[in-house]
Structure 1
Amino acid sequence: MTTFPDASYLILSSRLIPDHDGGYAMAILSRARQMAAAGVDGGRGPLILTFDPGTPADHARHRRAFDERELIVGPDRMRNLFDEASAPSGGAAAWLLEAAETGGPDPALEYRRVDDAEGRPIVGLPVIHGDPDWHITSAPVAVYGRDGAVAGVVAGFGALYRAWLADVVAQLRAASGDTPVVVICESRQLGELIAGWSDPGVRLIHSIHTIHLEPPHTPDAPLNPLWTRWFTLAERFDAVLWLSEAQRSDVIQRFGEEGVHLVIPAGVPAASTVVPGSERVPGRVVMLNRLAPGKRVDHAIRAFRGVLEAVPHATLDIYGGGAEHDALQALIEELGLTAHVVLRGITGEPERVLDAASAFLTTSAFEGQALAIVEAMVRGTPVVAYDVPYGPRDHLANGGGVLVPDGDETALAAAIVRVIADPEEHARLSREAAQMARRVDPDRVTEALAQAVADVLAAPSRRV
């Protein structure tokens, strides 16, 4: 049985909103549940901390939705910075006022005021337009007092976030004594802001959920600009968790072995039974992803014309929401595919969708782990995917689907036909896909995480 070292555990995410952020959100919530099942905090699991400046009512609604779907152990295990930044009697909380220094907002900047549930001001956040590095600004964050006037400032988002984390850690230590604190950071932006946190009793583990490269995604390809600064900070983390061996290898090849890089994929439980091909809907192909440019759903729609030439009864059900919805719907109508290709919106029952499908399709330009592929495979649903890093190429290396040359829509159509039109081929791929369950078994993955925690706790903090 997996046992985590005696410690207080925190999971940090920039935001967690139901039906947003796809596999990223599901992976984080699954990790927390699996840690709870392994006995962390007496089975209650780690605290999940979020940093988005929504209203208290918004955050309560999010927690309630996650709880109703049984995606969290309980609503009390999710906390938000801005919910806790206000004092009951108005103004900023004591921990925030203590962190504030004399000063006021920058008159050259626009500010977004965040209020408490009663409409009283708590903080004023500087708005940095058009800058992807807005989070590292040192522009003052205004802190309001009980009288509604500015009582001082903290130096940027980093100071604001670290002040809250220091208060949360102080609460944990007051309750559990001088046990170490293990922080699993799930967001690049948050990681950059807390990399210098020098508390010797805190260990920082950073989990990576996406690709770090630009096209053509080779190990020596240009870095995604958003990741350039992060790599200068990587050695400050006590461990960095990559979702695949391929991505970890590429990072080490380029940046060297800093002694912190580990491979721990997201754990996905096996299906209790794998639905045989004879009980799936004939010709049904499904996609489960955000409707975002990088997912290239338009490739799937265009390719489906070729599928229908060979399999006239085939259907493509596309589940997910996003900014590309209207453009994709227009493409479906333009190509005369409305009887066969349907945008189904977001589903709360992905397992049911996958169990009914004859094939799972993904056309992403790149992935981190591609959690939806794993979820399809453990349910025995064969996968058709472009041969791109890092998820599809890794997951299908041992069978369970068909890899297609990147961007080749003709080959994509042929691969879909191969999977859904040949019962023997479908049965073989389904058996291979279900074997994925052993590689991503939650117990195995959680054991690897527990060992990583034990290793970082056995060494001094890398930031001291």
Structure 2
Amino acid sequence: MTRIDADFPDAEYVVLSSRLIPDLDGGYTLATLARARQMAAAGVHGGRGPLLLTVDPGTPAEHAHHRAVFDGRDLVVDPGRMRNLFDEASDPDGGAAEWLRAAAHPGEPDPALEYRVVSDAADRPAVGLPVIAGDPDWHVSTAPVVVYDGAGRPAGIVDGFGALYRAWLDDVVRGLRGADPSRPVVVLCESRQLGELLAGWDDPDVRLVHALHTIHLEPPYTPDAPVNGLWSRWFDLAERFDAVLWLTEGQRADARERFGLDGVHVVVPHGVSAASSVVPPADRDQGRVVMLNRLAPGKRIDHAIRAFEGVVRAVPDARLDVYGEGAERDALQALIDERGLGAHVVLRGATDAPDRVLDEASALLFTSAFEGQGLAILEALAHGCPVVAYDVRYGPREALAAGGGVLVPDGDVDALTAGLVRVLDDVDTRVRLSHEAVDAARAVDPEHVMAALASAVGDVLGRSSRRA
């Protein structure tokens, strides 16, 4: 990646995620890895980038495979900078690692719960995790986590997942600081669940910066709509983070107005690099529209299929290629068949070459019911690919404010059809939008985004921890 000019303060940097698994969690995984790469390009830790920490209880072999896949796709700068709690929870001589034993206190497993035992490479138990099925708040449970000794016997407990995660992070932080126990450490938390558990972390020299990835609202996604239940507790804790990174000004403004949030809330979008070159509209596949998203209900690909009926009547050579996988595949294919669109709409499956797709397409279609930012829109703009999108919270309106696409009323399939026909059928419109797209994408160029992040970090390091 090209060197990024951003002045990050001297500190130890950690990016903390619940999990980072290839081809899982859609844009979340890609955006988290991109942020770490961009921090490396800005010189963090001499270009090696921040530590990437995860807490999913996979096996060391699974995590090694994940690192290898990310490395092969050039999604990480240094695979050795990726670490996992459960890879480090075992002692080489059996039982739990020293840091975990030190955190344990006397106690017994909960007899009412099942336990998932995580073992070391020799199949010796190290830690027992309570299985709390069907409860979206499982992560805040204080159900005992069992710690095993070298003989495979329970040696004590820690009080829930939060205590387990904090014990590991304390050990990681000690290792980062080395001989300087007061060296500042900046933890960029990419997970709401983890953020809730770390809001009470009492290390005064750790600065906890919380990044958001998605919308906080339920249907109809208006500013006064019900708050997603998983977010209610988070808003009660939001003022304890040293900074909160919102992806869009719109979401920050709505949350500030509703919850009275103060100045630690800053806008730092995901950064999207400009394409090395932009394919002019005349050299693209004429009539080809693409979508890049999971086949999930919230993406409303059924709207795209219905809209394309009218598009084909007006532009007979129009084609829609949908890239992505998901639970809705069979239902969407049935709708394509029912509408007789098999020659025009194709579910292409996942692609490992989204840049090529955006270089070839005449337009990107975006029909999500809600977003955190709408990363596909930004990537399309960076490639000079015009966008036709529903005007939904959050992201499309801000992304297209400087041009580059057609914004239509949310849920209006006829307007979606008209927007697509306008772009595909009018050469002058398509050329204008392509030029505007490249200019609009500069707002999320990694140079600007990393400068904003570095400034936010400088601010939080210039004052005491809000958790102190």
After TM superposition, the structure 1 = structure 2 runs for residues 314-463 of structure 1, keeping only pairs within 5 Å, are 314-463=318-467
Identity, % of aligned positions: 69
After TM superposition, the structure 1 = structure 2 runs for residues 111-126 of structure 1, keeping only pairs within 5 Å, are 111-126=115-130
Please say if residues 11 and 183 of structure 2, whose CA atoms lie closer than 8 Å, have aligned partners that are also in contact: yes
Please say if residues 148 and 156 of structure 2, whose CA atoms lie closer than 8 Å, have aligned partners that are also in contact: yes
Q: Could you tell me how far apart the structure 2 residues matched to 1:399 and 1:145 are?
A: 62
Q: Which residue does 1:8 correspond to in 2?
A: 12
Q: Which residue does 1:127 correspond to in 2?
A: 131
- How far off its partner does 1:117 sit? 2.5
- How far off its partner does 1:210 sit? 0.6
After TM superposition, the structure 1 = structure 2 runs for residues 193-232 of structure 1, keeping only pairs within 5 Å, are 193-232=197-236
Q: Could you tell me how far apart the structure 1 residues matched to 2:12 and 2:51 are?
A: 9
Q: Which residue does 1:96 correspond to in 2?
A: 100
SS at match of 1:6: coil
Q: Could you tell me how far apart the structure 1 residues matched to 2:158 and 2:424 are?
A: 59
Matched to 1:87, the amino acid is: D
The number of equivalent residue pairs is 464
TM-score normalised by length of structure 1: 0.98
Please say if residues 206 and 239 of structure 1, whose CA atoms lie closer than 8 Å, have aligned partners that are also in contact: yes
Please say if residues 275 and 355 of structure 1, whose CA atoms lie closer than 8 Å, have aligned partners that are also in contact: yes
Say whether residues 1:190 and 2:190 are aligned partners.
no
TM-score normalised by length of structure 2: 0.97
Q: Could you tell me how far apart the structure 2 residues matched to 1:51 and 1:339 are?
A: 45
SS at match of 2:70: helix
1:280-307 deviation per Cα after TM superposition (whole angstroms, max 9, x unaligned): 0011111111111111111111221111
Please say if residues 6 and 179 of structure 1, whose CA atoms lie closer than 8 Å, have aligned partners that are also in contact: no
Matched to 2:415, the amino acid is: A
Q: CA RMSD in A?
A: 1.2
> Which of 304, 310, 319 is the matching residue for 1:300?
304
Please say if residues 304 and 413 of structure 1, whose CA atoms lie closer than 8 Å, have aligned partners that are also in contact: yes
Please say if residues 124 and 143 of structure 1, whose CA atoms lie closer than 8 Å, have aligned partners that are also in contact: yes
SS at match of 2:401: helix
SS at match of 1:372: helix
Q: Could you tell me how far apart the structure 2 residues matched to 1:407 and 1:437 are?
A: 25
SS at match of 2:186: strand
Q: Which residue does 1:289 correspond to in 2?
A: 293
Please say if residues 216 and 227 of structure 2, whose CA atoms lie closer than 8 Å, have aligned partners that are also in contact: yes
Kindly report structure 1 stretches of 4+ aligned residues shifted beyond 6 Å: none
Say whether residues 1:70 and 2:69 are aligned partners.
no
After TM superposition, the structure 1 = structure 2 runs for residues 244-263 of structure 1, keeping only pairs within 5 Å, are 244-263=248-267
Please say if residues 121 and 144 of structure 1, whose CA atoms lie closer than 8 Å, have aligned partners that are also in contact: yes
Q: Could you tell me how far apart the structure 1 residues matched to 2:341 and 2:148 are?
A: 56
Q: Could you tell me how far apart the structure 2 residues matched to 1:373 and 1:220 are?
A: 26
> Which of 45, 62, 65 is the matching residue for 2:49?
45
SS at match of 1:206: strand
- How far off its partner does 1:234 sit? 0.5
- How far off its partner does 1:66 sit? 0.6
1:70-95 deviation per Cα after TM superposition (whole angstroms, max 9, x unaligned): 11111111111111111112211110
Q: Could you tell me how far apart the structure 2 residues matched to 1:21 and 1:181 are?
A: 27
Q: Could you tell me how far apart the structure 2 residues matched to 1:257 and 1:161 are?
A: 27
Please say if residues 57 and 117 of structure 1, whose CA atoms lie closer than 8 Å, have aligned partners that are also in contact: no
Q: Could you tell me how far apart the structure 2 residues matched to 1:60 and 1:290 are?
A: 25
- How far off its partner does 1:177 sit? 5.7
Q: Could you tell me how far apart the structure 2 residues matched to 1:224 and 1:396 are?
A: 27
Please say if residues 316 and 341 of structure 1, whose CA atoms lie closer than 8 Å, have aligned partners that are also in contact: yes
Give the 3 Å change call, closer, same or farther, for CA 143–393 of structure 1 in structure 2: same
After TM superposition, the structure 1 = structure 2 runs for residues 137-216 of structure 1, keeping only pairs within 5 Å, are 137-174=141-178, 178-216=182-220
Q: Could you tell me how far apart the structure 2 residues matched to 1:231 and 1:163 are?
A: 25
Q: Could you tell me how far apart the structure 2 residues matched to 1:176 and 1:341 are?
A: 60
Structure 2 residues not aligned, in runs of 5+: none
SS at match of 2:210: strand
SS at match of 1:435: helix
Structure 1 residues not aligned, in runs of 5+: none
SS at match of 1:398: coil
